[in-house]
Amino acid sequence: MSELLSVEDLNAFYGDSQVLFDVSIGLGTNDVVGIFGRNGMGKTTLLNSLVNRIDRKTGTVTYRGQDVSAWSPHEIIREGIAYVPEEREIYPALSVRENLELAMTSDIDDDTREERIQNVFTQFERLGERRNQRGGTLSGGEQQMLAIGRALVTDPDLLLLDEPTEGLAPTIIDDVVEILESLVTGDRAVLIVEQNINRMLPLIDRGYMIQTGRIVEEGDSEHLSDEEIHDKYLTV
Amino acid sequence: LGGGGGGGSDSVKIGAVMALSGPFARTGEENRRGLEVGQEYLGGEILDSEFELIIEDGESDPNASIQAARTLVEDEDVDAIIGPVSSGNSISVMQYIKDEGQVPHLMTTASSVEARENPENCNEYGFFIWPSNRHLAPTGTQFIQELPNHIDRDIDPSRVHYVSQDYALGQNGLELVEESMNEVGGEVTGSTLVPLGETDWSSYISEIANSEADVVTGVLTWGAAAQLIPQANSFGLPEEKVMMFNSGKPIGQFAASTMPNEVTVDGWFGTHFYNPGLDTDVNNEFQSLYNELDSSLLPNSTAGASFELMRALATAIENGGSTASDDIISELEGLEWDSVFGPIQFREEDHQAALNFFGGRRVESDGDGSEVEVLAEYPDVIPDARCSL
Amino acid sequence: MLEIPLITTENFITYALNGLSRGMIIFLVASGLSLIFGLIGLINFAHGAMLALGGYGTYVVIQATGNFWLGLVVSVLLVSLLGLALERKVLYWIYDEPLLGFLSTFGIGLVIEEALAVYFGSRSYTVQSPLSQSVEVLGVSYPSYRLFVILVGAAVALGVGLVLVKTRLGLEIHATANMQSTAEILGVDTARIYTITFVLGTALAALAGALTAPITSMYPTIGLDYITMAFLVIIVGGMGSFKGSFVVSMIVGQVIAFGWLVLSPTYVRILVFAAAMVFILYKPRGFFGKAEVHE
Amino acid sequence: MSDRLSDVRDVARGLPRRPLLAVGVLLLLAVPFLFPGQSDLATEALIFGLFAISVDIVLGYAGLLSLAPAAFFGLGAYTVAKLVVDYGQSFWLGFPLAIVLALILAFVVGYVPIKRRIGNVYFVLFTLAFGAIVHDFFFVTTWLTGGSDGLGFFGPPEVLGIDLGGSTAYYYLTLGAVATVGYGLYVLIKSDYGDVLHATRQNELRMRYLGYDTNRELMIAWLVSAAVSAFAGAVYVGLVGIASPSLVSFALTGDVIIWIIVGGTGTLLGPFAAAIGLVFTQELLQNLWQGGYRLLLGVLFVVFVFVLPDGLVGLLRGDE
Amino acid sequence: MLSVEGLTKKFDSVVAVDDVDMELRSGEIHGLIGPNGAGKTTTVNLITGELTPTSGTIEFDGTDLVGRSPSAIARQGIGRSFQVVQYFPEMTVREHLRLAVRDSTETVRSVFNREEDYEPQIRAVAERVHLEDDLDTVAKNLAHGKKRFLDIAMVLGMDSRVILFDEPAAGLNQSETDEVKEILESLRGEYTVLIVEHDVDLVRSISDRITVLHNGAVLTTDTPENVVENPQVKEVYLGE
Ligand SMILES: Nc1ncnc2c1ncn2[C@@H]1O[C@H](COP(=O)(O)OP(=O)(O)OP(=O)(O)O)[C@@H](O)[C@H]1O
Ligand SMILES: Nc1ncnc2c1ncn2[C@@H]1O[C@H](COP(=O)(O)OP(=O)(O)OP(=O)(O)O)[C@@H](O)[C@H]1O
Ligand SMILES: CC(C)C[C@H](N)C(=O)O
Ligand SMILES: [Mg+2]
Ligand SMILES: [Mg+2]
């Protein structure tokens, strides 16, 4: 397994309060890795730290052999990473199309752009129907689709997903899982943060369990489906 | 109490309050230049010893002007004060001088009669070289009446529209122009008083353009003239109205050097009392010293006024041999001398001076500059004395 | 008693053009201020000083070369460079602190204005207008320079407006202004967007200064006269709304251009300020405001 | 921070407070004897010191950045001038009237923005517009305020045979007034009310849920500030003898903000000392370089904003 | 004690709180749970006057609270803590508590009774939340958990009878959460408490009754045991 991303001894802070403690994880090309844990354990913070979207952190993040710990978010993103944030962060005043356009950097030629946008519209038909509607007026589920679509148009090598199924109706969740499955067959790596572990177990190669900012368990999906672990780290 | 009367300290100290910033800054700078020329002219000496000239910025504001005067009198202990620049600012300083400062006070350009005739203001310490509105208004009115003889435009000189700025000078000028127009059987059909510091005059120009009268008259500060003349030209106003302003603004030398192309436009007229071509020793000397100091501008009445005040002061001190206020004042009263404006005297009754006026316009000269074409002359203009000191 | 003189068609057109030319200058100042505020949240009190620099720059070049057009271009470029330096070297690190940002730009503006006063003196300088003739428009003769100002203003409004709505740069500016950190994770170099916007805003101020110089002459505190009005325009128009600053500048220009018919101009100004105060209280986001640097 | 800076701090902190205060008081009392020619300047400095304190009550303690303090200062000055010059009334009557008018104006202007909590940025702009209106108003209403000619000239009256128009007499009068009002403000700020303002500035939400009517608390600070500013303006016009538009100008507002920033926001002594110091520095600089002293002040201000945002007092205290 | 009837809050088209009836009995600890966006915080904000209800009544000790300002309601005896801790970063713990303990209506009158000594009250409150050793610490230097305690202490310092806690254990580690639990336990009987919390263990173990909100409406109000077993609650909130 060639290392695509590796994180060592990551500590993250909001102001004075520390949220992550000595977190180390690794991810290879073609890997699908999950991060699981209860509310407020630091999952989102971990993703944010990878792209430097956080006040302060210590530790190293290496991507494709380069130390990107001190890069600014857009520089890291432009290395071929796409991020689907927890809050979706759709631009309310921009149309669906403009939201998608925004994610593609200017070095992509017009034909490719168009093709990728059309791809998203086929994957999420609903978005195609709403292509000129303002992002802010989409339903929650539609916004989630758009957030994922916005990541897909960049044709990323590494996809970071923060609770991609949150707020989606069960049928849409099935769609999303399907799309993710089709994604991971390509030459891509995916890092998924989820509370809904059972949905994701079939998808992932490996996973980490996080508890108040510390990695407390690591293993393949079989290991993580263990009842005891669930009781200990997931049930509330 | 007060700064007292100067006293007999060894070297002479002259204080000046000049508007070096704010709406009167253009005039203030010329006034200051005049003082510097004056200092040169005197060789820096009065009573055979070097004198000190201290200039404070009155900021075009009455409060700042008083403060400046106070500093000069109370801290610097000056023997006399020259300035400040505008009537509004001068009035406040005059009151301070009268109540507390009590030193000879020679005003550069204050022309409102409010300053010169209102017994609350005018006082034994104050001297004026610049013409008052009461010099200006009747002279201007007279010239307006003669204008039809000098231009081939069909104009009715009995109706004028008044333009000036909204402070002591303009408010009081309006009354006087009304008075003198009435005397010749004419009238002021309307007036435009522009706030100090206004820069975009387009609305006012529209108002002037739509006035009933053919002739527009009034008095302006240099700052205002610098806005009005080019902006009015760009709107073609002088083609519609005859623009005739008192105390020199459109035809003065300062305008000629700062707005050379603007002032030769047909339609601008003015009355004035400084003839740069006057061939006397003092005027020639003044001009050459001025040109040494700043060759981009032309020697002008505003600089001339403060230049002459400095000379008068020097003469008075030397004649009396003293810097005591009373001595200086008694020497200044009735002082007669040959000035850049011609022979001039501080009248004893009210400390004002008679001036030789002329009316004219600016035309392009053979050289690259412009010169004044004199159309009418009004020698020895001086109103009746109205302030009993 | 209010007295409303009858307005002839010609007068009406003249007044309207007066309003347009005044409005365009206000718009150039306000739109730059508004872009900067909308994007960075910075009350840029140095904006007025940038305007003054634009005007003095033009004046200096004219003195040296006699060419107004050269002066216009050179001074706008130079002031933009200064804006670039200011943004990169000084301002970027206080973006998170609006109060500090306000105070520091207040100080920087003060220093620039005082430096101008020291170097040039406080008096005003007349700048020779490059187009001195009047031309005939809609049946009235009107100063051609003022028409030029109107055209430049309109062109800038259209040009910058199109950039904001139609181009990728506009999209990125919008994205950065509204959710900066989201723009970052979509690959937008927001630091660059900040710089571009600040420089653009500064250039607009300098342009306003250069354009107004031949009309109103130049003095060190000229910026202050415009900036107060400009702030109020962007409040009424909606902070950060480019369209808003345009529409409101045009309205203000006309109000001043016609207002004097019924009320002395200074009272008209007072009324405009008072209206802005009411706006701040009851509709702080203005007519067009969703704090969007867009449309 | 450099070693030398912390040395300065250590020394400053090590100085015994009380003797220092006593020296300060003695110095103030002795000014007319020590610097006989400078009494007026010292009087002006004291007045501006009080003015700076009053403005810092809203800026530093209540956390409202107002761009209109000159409006209240000028209102105080104009009220006195109007009474004396146009109505021939007593100079002293002007003081209570100035305060009452300032309170009314402050209440009318401040009520809605404070109640609606319009936010810092909007408050700045709101007061910018207000300040501009007040300036324009005093500038154009020639019939009421004398317009650009101002309202003057007059001097303070005689009291018990002492002519207050004299520099020394007016200095002591001012010193007394500034000391009294300044001490009053000190007591106010040192009382729990000071803590209330302090806390409100840091977290208004929390204060409201502790039962504090924060609108009222802020309004009180705003009113006190306006009243003291007007009072300072009234004392000032007695010194200079004329009220003119420069007393309601943006330049004065700019000056007072500079004093506060240099002295340190949220302290009383800082802005007071900075105002006094800068008035004298200004005089000094003016003598050295007449045209450029404001440039130097501007540079000083920028240095303070960037390098010492806590002002002189922060420097002495060594706060982080 | 405090009862809410027909409480409804609409934001444009969103009905954040939908016809909620809820009663806090004197001295009880009452849990309020529900999915994100269920309307819990909105309900608290309505009770404390931060928001004005679209319709419905809020009755406290026989008086209607609707339309009163937050500070007036606080003075009536309803205190609250916040989802995000609210404190005064530059002030010491003692100063915080002094502000809480003193009469909040006093304003400038405080100038004239400066000598009032609140120390005993301050100490008593500080001890309750184990902050007695931190009285002179500036708040921003406190650990996150202690800031939480400070937030709670301020509410205790006020003269309130009802306390509304919005996620008091958010962001706390296990031992801190236990401390919070202990503090809350100690309030039982003395205060009437409403607690909004996602830490279901905590809510379950200390609440006398729990109300579950879903889509702004009350799903059920019941004992903790019954609530956890409630299939609807499991479906919308607890999950499997
Ligand atoms: N901006 C912030 N400022 C301060 N604390 C924060 C901030 N964001 C998150 N936290 C705190 O950091 C901790 C971890 O938060 P994080 O969002 O990473 O958790 P999470 O595991 O993603 O939770 P969830 O499942 O709810 O999304 C939480 O205690 C949270 O309260
Ligand atoms: N100002 C507002 N405008 C529009 N909708 C709002 C507003 N405030 C809240 N809402 C909506 O009302 C609903 C209830 O929000 P509320 O904050 O009460 O939820 P909550 O139960 O406290 O959730 P959480 O557990 O996430 O804190 C949400 O859907 C929210 O989006
Ligand atoms: C500046 C000058 C034109 C002053 C003018 N004469 C006045 O009295 O105010
Ligand atoms: Mg999360
Ligand atoms: Mg909530």
pLDDT in tens, D161-192: 778 777 889 999 999 999 999 999 999 998 88
D165 within some domain: yes
Residues of E in contact with D207 (CB under 8 A): 71, 99
- Which residues in chain A are closer than 8 Å to E144, comparing Cβ atoms? 16-17
- Closest chain E CA to residue A195: E239
Q: Which of D305, D307, D310 to mutate to test the interface with C (most CBs of C within 10 A)?
A: D305
Whether residue B4 has pLDDT greater than 60 = no
In total, chain C counts a number of residues equal to: 295
Does an H or E element contain C270, and which?
helix C265-282
| Cβ–Cβ below 8 Å for B64 and D155 | no
Q: Is the CB of A39 under 6 A from ligand 1?
A: yes
Q: For chain E, say whether A170 makes contact (Cβ under 8 Å).
A: no
The three-state secondary structure class of E96 is helix
**Highest mean pLDDT pick, B251-260, B301-310, D288-297:** B301-310
Residue C294 is assigned to a structural domain of this protein: no
- Residues E158-184, buried b or exposed e (16+ Cβ, 10 A)? bebbbbbbbbbbbbbeeebbebbbebb
Check: complex ipTM more than 0.95: no
Q: Is the pLDDT of residue D30 over 60?
A: yes
If you average pLDDT over residues D271-278, what whole number do you get?
Answer: 92
Which percentage of chain D shows pLDDT scores above 90? 51
DSSP 3-state of A104:
coil
Return the pLDDT at B246: 92
Looking at the partner chain, which of A16, A40, A212 has a beta carbon nearest the beta carbon of E170? A40
Does the pLDDT of residue B132 top 80, yes or no? yes
D86 domain residue, yes or no: yes
Chain D interface disruption, residue of C94, C227, C270, most D CBs within 10 A = C270
Looking at domain E1-77+164-169+187-235, which CATH architecture does it have? 3-Layer(aba) Sandwich (3.40)
Domain annotation covers residue D25 = no
Give the A:E interface size as CB pairs under 8 Å: 18
Taking 50 as the pLDDT cut, the residues of chain E under it are none
Q: What are the residue ranges spanned by the domains of chain E?
A: 1-77+164-169+187-235, 79-105+115-160
Whole-model pTM: value is 0.88
Is E74 close to D188, i.e. CB distance below 8 A?
Answer: no
Q: What DSSP designation does B134 have?
A: H
Q: Measured from the CB, is residue B87 less than 6 Å from ligand 3?
A: yes
Has residue D23 been placed in a domain?
no
Q: Which of B217-221, C232-236, C270-274, D11-15 has the lowest mean pLDDT?
A: D11-15
Cβ–Cβ contacts within 10 Å for residue C168, how many? Answer: 14
Comparing alpha-carbon positions, the chain D residue that sits nearest to E117 is D192
- What is the total count of domains within chain C? 1
The yes-or-no verdict on residue B226 having pLDDT over 50 is yes
Q: Domain limits at D111?
A: 39-247
Tens place of pLDDT per residue across chain A (236 aa): 468 999 999 999 887 778 899 999 999 988 899 998 877 788 999 999 999 988 888 999 999 999 999 999 999 999 999 999 988 899 988 899 999 999 998 888 889 999 999 999 998 888 888 888 888 877 777 888 899 999 999 999 999 999 887 666 566 677 778 888 887 777 889 999 987 777 788 888 899 999 888 999 898 888 887 777 766 666 54
Q: What angle do CA A91, A97, A100 make, to 5 degrees?
A: 70
∠D244-D245-D247 over CA atoms, to 5°?
A: 80
State the nearest Cα–Cα gap between C108 and chain D, in angstroms.
7
Tens of pLDDT, residues B236-266 = 999 999 999 998 899 999 999 988 889 999 9
Which ligand has the shortest distance to the CA of B167? Answer: 3
Q: Of the candidates D139, D295, D302, which has its C-beta nearest C108's C-beta?
A: D302
Residue D43 with chain B: CB contacts under 8 Å: none
pLDDT at D142 over 90: no
Q: State the distance from the centre of ligand 1 to the C-alpha of A45, rounded, in angstroms.
A: 6
Mean pLDDT (whole number) for D150-157 = 86
Cβ of E173 within 8 Å of Cβ of A212? The answer is yes
Closest atom of ligand 2 relative to the E38 alpha carbon: 21
Q: Determine the pLDDT at residue C2.
A: 47
Alpha carbon distance A82, A157 (integer Å) = 8
Pick from D110, D11, D18: which is nearest to D64 by CA? D110
- What's the gap in Å between the CA of D153 and the closest CA on chain E? 39
At B151-208, the pLDDT tens digits run 988 999 999 999 999 888 888 899 999 999 999 999 999 999 888 888 889 989 999 9
Residue nearest to atom 4 of ligand 1 (CA): A14
- Least CA distance to C270: which residue of chain D? D133
Asked whether residue C15 is assigned to any structural domain, the reply reads yes
Query: CB distance from C178 to chain A under 8 Å?
Result: yes
Q: Enumerate neighbours of E (3 or more CB pairs within 8 A).
A: A, D
Question: In a mutagenesis test of the D interface, which of C33, C110, C123 is the best target, namely the one with the most D β-carbons within 10 Å?
Answer: C110
The single-letter code of the amino acid at D76 is: G
Confidence of residue B347 (pLDDT cuts 50, 70, 90): very high
Count H helices, E strands: chain E? 9, 10
Closest alpha carbon to C201 in C65, C59, C86, C280: C86
Contact E2, E38 (CB under 8 A): no
* D270 three-state secondary structure: helix
**Are D199 and E88 an interchain contact pair (Cβ–Cβ within 8 Å)?**
yes
Q: What is the spatial distance between Cα A23 and Cα A64, in angstroms, rounded to a whole number?
A: 19
Q: Which residues make Cβ contacts (< 8 Å) with residue C97, sequence separation at least 6?
A: none
> Chains with ≥3 Cβ pairs under 8 A against B?
C, D
- Give yes or no for residue A45 CB within 6 A of ligand 1: yes
Cα–Cα distance, C173 to A17 (Å, whole number): 33
- How many other C-beta atoms can be found within 10 angstroms of the C-beta atom of residue C214? 30
Q: Which two tokens stand for residue D93?
A: 């009557």
The number of distinct structural domains making up chain D is 1
CATH number of the domain where residue C272 is located: 1.10.3470
Residue C293 lies in a domain: no
Give the C-alpha separation, A139 to A136, whole Å: 8
pLDDT at E88: 93
E174 contact partners, CB below 8 Å, separation of at least 6:
A212
Examine residue C91 and state whether it is found in any structural domain, yes or no.
yes
pLDDT at E181: 92
C-alpha angle D305/D311/D315, rounded to 5°? 120
What distance in Å separates the CA atoms of residue C266 and residue B389, rounded to the nearest whole number? Answer: 39
Q: What domains can be seen in chain A, in order of their start residue?
A: 1-80+158-166+192-235 (3.40.50.300)
| Element housing B142 (H / E) | helix B133-150
pLDDT at D7: 54
pLDDT score of C1 more than 50: no
**Residue B88 to residue D148, Cβ atoms within 8 A:** yes
The answer to whether the Cβ–Cβ distance between C121 and B20 falls below 8 Å is yes
| Interchain CB contact of B206 with C (< 8 Å) | yes
| Average pLDDT value for chain C | 88
Under an 8 A CB cutoff, do A73 and C179 touch? no
* Residues facing B106 on adjacent strands: B82, B127
What is the number of the ligand 1 atom nearest to the C-alpha of A20?
Answer: 14
Q: How far is the CA of E37 from the centre of ligand 2 (A)?
A: 5
Distances in whole angstroms, Cα of residue A227 to Cα of each of A35, A203, A230 = 17, 18, 5
